[in-house]
Chains A and B, each alone.
Chain A
Amino acid sequence: MELAPVFARRIFQRLTDGIDGPLFALSLALVAVGLATLFSASYEQPARVTSQVSNLLVAFFAMWVIARVPPQTLMRFAVPAYLVGIVLLVAVALMGDVVNGARRWLHVGVTRFQPSEMMKLALPLMLAWYFHKNEATLRMRDFAVAAILLAVPVLLIARQPDLGTAVLVAAAGCYVIFFAGIGWKVIAALGVLGLASLFPLWGMLHDYQRRRILTLIDPTQDPLGAGYHTIQSTIAVGSGGLTGKGWLHGTQTHLEFIPERHTDFIFAVFSEEFGLIGNAILLTLYTLLIARGLMIAANAPTFFSRLLAATITLMFFTYAFVNMGMVSGILPVVGVPLPFVSYGGTALLTLFIGVGILMSVHSHRRLVQT
């Protein structure tokens, strides 16, 4: 009689070993929001919801595994992961599949995947490892090396072309460099330089990328073309009002005015049906998730784990901010999913591996210190 609950508790403890309660609860809450919204957006294809659930199971398992791996072990994967990532990106450039005019996908057996997705984690891992290795003697030269390590994959991704992912990967790299302690003056100088290089950069952009940026400034210029996404998603958000039109009652969603409503524009669906109140709740969930991640980073024992945790956390923020900004019409349309909410197995896997890393950092904080 007494044994059974004790045994059960042991199993539970074994299973939850290394799992951070608040982080898991927050990501679960976001996933729940995602599934509910996806259900509404997929009225014509209910199979998407079950497919997303199986994606989730895979992602949970990955998180569970990673959470139990100590950061030191993760560190060992940094260089190989980065190199494999670079090789794959080159492979994509040479023989990837072209979808929608961009060469992003690589065939691996029966399935395809985007090596650029992998870089979202491999690059911060690599940079964190690099800074950690040179922690004692960090000098300007190291930041320059880091910049090169960052530039190679970013440029490879940018020329696929996949500006959205390139920006995100670059952001991740920059976060590592920022947290590694690059001087404020250098940041300021780079900022000025960055602004100055905007003009030549503009010339390097693809037509559709320019159009997206111009359309952001005035979506009505091209209401049926590039502006269509922004116009319709802004209408969806705006018409949601304070309380929303109610779950499953979004007209923009259900009459198919919102393009890509399962993936990148799922926030428009959510916002139309749940309104400002729903948006406030969603923002709160993200804020809490990010707060928890930053807290974990602040208490991380090693330079590597600190940089990695802080960077992953800020990447969550970046995804969320860029996606919501794009749907509500203040940022250009770039292919960024809403973290934990958008449909898509690869993104979900990446995100939960990130969560797993955060958990690993958190649960192994004392092991090194003592």
Chain B
Amino acid sequence: MRLGELKNHERELYYFQLRIGFAGFAVLAAFALLFARFIHLQVLQHDAYASKAEENRISIVPIAPNRGLILDRNGVVLARNYSAYTLEIFPGKVRDLERTIQDLEEVVEIQAKDRSRFRKLLAETRNAESLPIRTRLTDEEVARFAANRFRFPGVDIKARLFRQYPFGEVASHVIGYIGRINAKDQEKLAELEVEANYRGTDYIGKSGLEASYQQELHGTTGFEQVEIDAAGRGIRTLARTGAQAGNNITLTLDIKLQEIAEAAFGERRGALIAIEPATGGVLAFVSKPGFDPNLFVDGIDPSSWSELNNSPDRPLTNRAIAGIYPPGSTFKPYMAMAALESGKRTPKSAIHDPGYFEFGGRRFRDSKPGGHGYVDLYKSIVVSSDTFYYQLANDMGIEAIADFMGKFGFGAKSGIDLEGEALGVLPSPAWKQKRFRKPEQQKWYAGETVSIGIGQGYNAYTPIQLAVALATLAANGDMYRPRLASYIDNLRTGERRHIEPVLVKHIPLKPENVEFVKRAMAGVNKAGTGARAFGNAEYTNGGKTGTAQVVGMKQNEKYDEKKVAERHRDHSLFIVFAPLESPKIALVAIVENGGFGARAAAPIARVVLDYYLLGKLPEGDAPGAIKPSAAADEEEEEGESD
């Protein structure tokens, strides 16, 4: 079409209509393209988009189960849950944490320890949705925050179940505590492949039974399918699978007995374990000092933590399973047993005890200056003659001793249902070989065997090992695995699962030998070193005192308690079982730096046995009542040896 000419009207209309046709064609083509796109989305890709729409719409919200309870043998609750309000910050939704916390202070009280705990939690916890800045809000605080809520996006009040330990410090090492799941716990859960069940769970058992029975106590997480809108607000619940509460665990432990035992310790450090010999059930389990597990429940504040962690008394160490002590003279009954079983001694074997044993030019002192004179096997236990056992150990040799003691579980984990058991040391040439690197240190010297006989030297065992050995002796060689849990109740099914006693082994001991050692131990408490504490007991019993050196003594140095710093004083040990004929309880008590076994540990044992066997409460039911008088000390020191 040339421009500038007068155009033919018809011709121009024709061209215009041609362009209209072209436009119409373009429209159809464009709409066809759109329709093809619709087919692609709505037919070919429909399933993918439909499921995306569902994912958009439905959120799976976990419902954390209620943690199971821990109860003592009589059904007294030791660990329970209660509901409380917490003020929680969602770190991902808050821009300026410091500002927010500062502003929150105007509404609810936030102490410095709340802040530091929050910061600690923030550093420790991975992908936590929300973290508490304040716990246990009062109703008034809840109302105040609710009125100011609009000012705090990313902060909300949550109703949470908290763990509570009504007995506080009592049995704290048995029950343990729970704490927030940290990165390490998360790894452990991943290893166990139970992560899915922990969605929605914030807390996990960190120590004690709370940790060892974590999977039983936890329960099964429920799920709720919630329809949510674009802002993530729940609109309605579509489906719900309820959570199943964790199982309740009932212990063999008697909390009253436990309280009495702990009270008997007073402020002293130490451990006590009482076991039912016929089952391995633990009746009392003390590690002093304890701690208040309630401090850990909503995240321990750093100052309490450092106080517990840095205390020289080490209250967080479970001495009963992780404390390692030389058994001292409580080792002698087993030595006697070994002597009889091996034939190295007979009940009639006797020596003259001059107050020392000479070996390789070295003099091993008896704790009684001048010695006990004529000593046979029976008397060796009753008066606790060191000289007798120096000789015996030397005669038997280290291999035979280690072999025999190993059978009683010395130097081996007892398998109690708690985590963190220490191994201890059952001395032997093989152990020394492994323990030391220098060849001259690796060699076992015959002289080293001598003090093994009186429970000193390299001997080092945990209280639970001593308790298991005693229970095994009391049960005539039947060794049961010690355990704290008696049965587990599933609340949903009503099913009760008993933890059956596990007979680890039977040590074939000659009945007459067992009889002899038990009789000698009865003698200890009737007329020997344990007589002061047990002489007037209203039940038959057998025991043995022990004093364990904390610092090595030079050869001719005399131990003078008054000159030694408190923490370097000897540990006081006592083992006892009763009644003699069919023992119902075997008990080990250790009082750190308590001096002579008869003085500190034995009275504690007496109080526990009196309550357990007779239901008798200690006089005045106060710890002071058991403290020995200073006058008695003076008298004892002279006449008594261990």
Distance in Å: Cβ of B456 to nearest Cβ of chain A = 71
Evaluate contact between B56 and A252: CB separation under 8 angstroms: yes
Chain B nearest CB, measured from A316 CB (Å): 10
CB proximity to B under 8 Å, residues A243-292? 251-252, 255-257, 271, 275-276, 279-280, 283, 286-287, 290-291
The answer to whether A235 and B31 touch (CB under 8 A), given A140-B3, A310-B23, is no
Q: CB within 8 Å of B: which of A101-122?
A: none
Q: Which of A155-198 contact B (CB under 8 A)?
A: 175, 178-179, 181, 183
- Provide the residues of chain A in CB contact with B7, threshold 8 Å: 136
B196 contacts chain A at the CB level, 8 A cutoff: no
Bound complex: CA of A130 vs CA of B430, how far in Å? Answer: 112
B41, A291: Cβ atoms under 8 Å? Answer: no
Is B4 located at the chain interface by the 8 A CB criterion? yes
B46: interface (CB < 8 Å) = yes
Residues 93 to 126 of chain B near chain A (Cβ within 8 Å): none
Q: Which of A234, A235, A241, A283 contacts B34, CB < 8 Å?
A: A283
Q: Which single member of B15, B34, B229 contacts A324 (CB below 8 Å)?
A: B34
Closest-by-CB residue of A relative to B57 is A251
- Given A137, A287, A290, A328, which contacts B41 in the complex, CB threshold below 8 Å? A328
Given contacts A179-B19, A330-B37, contact A237 B229 (CB under 8 A): no
The reply to whether B30 and A321 contact each other, CB–CB distance below 8 Å, is yes
> What 0/1 pattern do residues 131 to 150 of A give for CB contact below 8 A with B?
00000111110000000000
Contact flag A238-B3 (CB < 8 Å), given A298-B16, A306-B16, A317-B30: no
- Knowing A310-B23, A321-B31 are in contact, say whether A238-B4 is a contact too (CB < 8 A): no
Decide if B38 is an interface residue (CB 8 Å cutoff): yes
Contact among B1, B30, B41 for A238, CB-based, below 8 A: B41
Residues of A within 8 A of B38 (CB): 237, 271, 276, 279-280, 328
Are A279 and B42 in touch, CB under 8 angstroms? yes
A300 (CB) vs chain B CBs: closest residue: B16
User: Binary interface profile of B, 46-64, with partner A (CB < 8 Å = 1, else 0)?
Assistant: 1011101110110000000
Known: A251-B57, A255-B57, A314-B23. A283 touches B50 (CB 8 A): no
A298 touches B230 (CB 8 A): no
Interface string of A305-340 (1 = CB under 8 A from B): 010001000100100010011001110000000000
| Cβ of A240 under 8 Å from chain B | yes
Q: How far is the CB of B216 from chain A (nearest CB, A)?
A: 40
Question: Which of B7, B43, B50, B53 is most buried by chain A, counting CB atoms within 10 A of its CB?
Answer: B53
B46 / chain A contacts, CB cutoff of 8 Å: 238-239, 241-242
Task: Tell me the smallest distance from the CB of A336 to a CB of chain B, in Å.
Answer: 14
Q: Which residues of A contact B34 (CB under 8 A)?
A: 283, 321, 324-325, 328, 330
| B235 on the A face (CB < 8 A) | yes
Q: Among B12, B35, B49, B54, point to the contact of A280 (Cβ < 8 A).
A: B35
* Residue in contact with B31 in the complex, picked from A137, A240, A283, CB distance below 8 Å: A283
Partner of A294, one of B20, B43, B52: B20
- Cβ B4 vs Cβ A137 within 8 A: yes
Cross-chain contact A291 with B229 (CB below 8 angstroms):
no
B309 within 8 A of A: no
- Asked whether, in the complex, the Cβ of A255 is within 8 Å of the Cβ of B56, the reply is yes
Q: Is A236 at the interface (CB under 8 A from chain B)?
A: yes
Q: Are A255 and B1 in contact (CB under 8 A)?
A: no
Check: B27 CB closer than 8 A to any chain A CB. Answer: yes
* A251 vs B228: C-alpha distance when bound (angstroms): 10
Contact assessment for B49 and A257 in the assembled complex, using a CB-CB cutoff below 8 Å: no
Bound: A275/B46 CA distance, A: 10
Find out whether the CB atom of B42 lies under 8 angstroms from the CB atom of A237. yes
Q: Does A123 contact B (CB under 8 A)?
A: no
Cβ of A297 within 8 Å of any chain B Cβ, yes or no, is yes
Q: Quote the shortest CB–CB distance from A149 to chain B (angstroms).
A: 18
Kindly identify, within residues 332 to 358 of chain A, every residue whose CB is under 8 Å from any CB belonging to chain B.
none
From known contacts A138-B3, A178-B19, A283-B31, infer whether A235 and B49 are also in contact, taking CB-CB under 8 Å. yes
* Complex partner residue of A251 from B28, B39, B41, B56, CB under 8 angstroms: B56
Specify which chain A residues have a CB less than 8 angstroms from the CB of B19 in the assembled complex: 178-179, 181, 310
A181 to B19 alpha-carbon distance, docked (Å): 8
Question: Which residues of A lie under 8 Å from residue B12 when comparing CB positions?
Answer: 181
B43 close to A255 (CB less than 8 A): no
State A306–B20 Cα separation when bound (angstroms).
10
Given known contacts A256-B231, A294-B23, is B56 in contact with A235 (CB within 8 Å)? Answer: yes
Contacts of A298 in B (CB 8 A): 16-17, 20
Nearest-neighbour CB distance to chain A for B104, whole angstroms, equals: 28
In the complex, B192 has a CB within 8 A of chain A: no
Residues on the A chain within 8 Å of B553, using CB: none
Please report the C-alpha to C-alpha distance between residue A236 and residue B28 in the assembled complex, in whole angstroms: 25
**When A242-B46, A279-B42, A321-B30 are in contact, do A179 and B52 touch as well, CB less than 8 Å?**
no
Report the separation of the CA atoms of residues A324 and B53 in the bound assembly, to the nearest whole angstrom. 19
Q: When chains A and B are docked, how far (Å) is the Cα of A297 from the Cα of B49?
A: 41
**In the bound complex, how far is the Cα of B26 from the Cα of A290, in angstroms?**
12
Contact check, B231 vs A238: say whether CB atoms are below 8 A apart: no
Instruction: Knowing A237-B49, A255-B235, A257-B230 are in contact, say whether A242-B42 is a contact too (CB < 8 A).
Output: yes
* Nearest B residue to A141, CB-CB: B3
Q: In the bound complex, do residue B53 and residue A276 qualify as a contact, i.e. CB atoms below 8 Å apart? A: no
The reply on B227 being an interface residue by CB < 8 A is yes
**Shortest beta-carbon distance, B230 to chain A, in Å?**
4
B230 pairs with A297, CB closer than 8 A: no
Tell me if B24 is interfacial: C-beta within 8 Å of chain A: yes
**CA–CA, A237 to B49, complex, Å?**
8
Chain B residue nearest to A250 (CB atoms) is: B53
B6 within 8 A of A: yes
Q: Chain A residues near B227: list those with CB within 8 A.
A: 251, 255
Q: When chains A and B are docked, how far (Å) is the Cα of A238 from the Cα of B37? A: 10
Contacts of B31 in A (CB 8 A): 283, 286-287, 321
Tell me if B45 is interfacial: C-beta within 8 Å of chain A.
yes
Contact B43 A279 (CB under 8 A): no
**Cross-interface CB contact of A256 among B20, B45, B229, cutoff 8 Å:** B229
Q: How close is B358's CB to chain A, nearest CB, in angstroms?
A: 87
In chain B, what residue has the closest Cβ to A241? B46
Cβ contact of A297, chosen from B20, B27, B33, B229, cutoff 8 A: B20
A291 and B53 in contact, given A238-B48, A306-B16 (Cβ under 8 angstroms): no
Min C-beta distance of A98 to chain B, whole Å:
25
> What separation, in Å, do the CA atoms of A286 and B28 have in the docked complex?
10
Produce 1/0 per residue, A212-253, CB < 8 A to B. 000000000000000000001011111111100000000110
B16 touches A179 (CB 8 A): yes
> Which residues of the partner chain B approach A241 to less than 8 Å between Cβ atoms?
42-43, 46, 50
Q: How far is the CA of A283 from the CA of B49 in the complex (A)?
A: 22
Say whether, besides A238-B42, A255-B229, A181 and B28 are in contact (CB < 8 Å).
Answer: no
Docked pose: A106 CA to B46 CA in angstroms: 44
A294 to B162, CA, bound (A): 75
Q: Which residue of A lies closest to B28 (CB)?
A: A287
Whether A237 contacts B41 in the complex (CB less than 8 A), given A137-B4, A256-B229, A287-B27, comes out as yes
Task: Pick the 8 closest A-B CB pairs, nearest first.
Answer: A238-B49, A239-B53, A139-B3, A238-B41, A255-B229, A256-B230, A276-B42, A239-B50
A-B pairs with beta carbons under 8 Å apart, 17 shown: A179-B23, A181-B1, A181-B15, A183-B1, A235-B56, A236-B53, A251-B57, A251-B227, A252-B56, A255-B235, A257-B57, A271-B38, A280-B35, A297-B20, A314-B27, A328-B41, A329-B37
**Contacts from A to B (Cβ < 8 Å):** 136-140, 175, 178-179, 181, 183, 232, 234-242, 251-252, 255-257, 271, 275-276, 279-280, 283, 286-287, 290-291, 294, 297-298, 306, 310, 314, 317, 321, 324-325, 328-330
Q: A139-B3, A240-B42 are known; give 7 further A-B pairs, CB within 8 A.
A: A178-B19, A238-B53, A242-B43, A255-B229, A255-B235, A256-B231, A283-B34
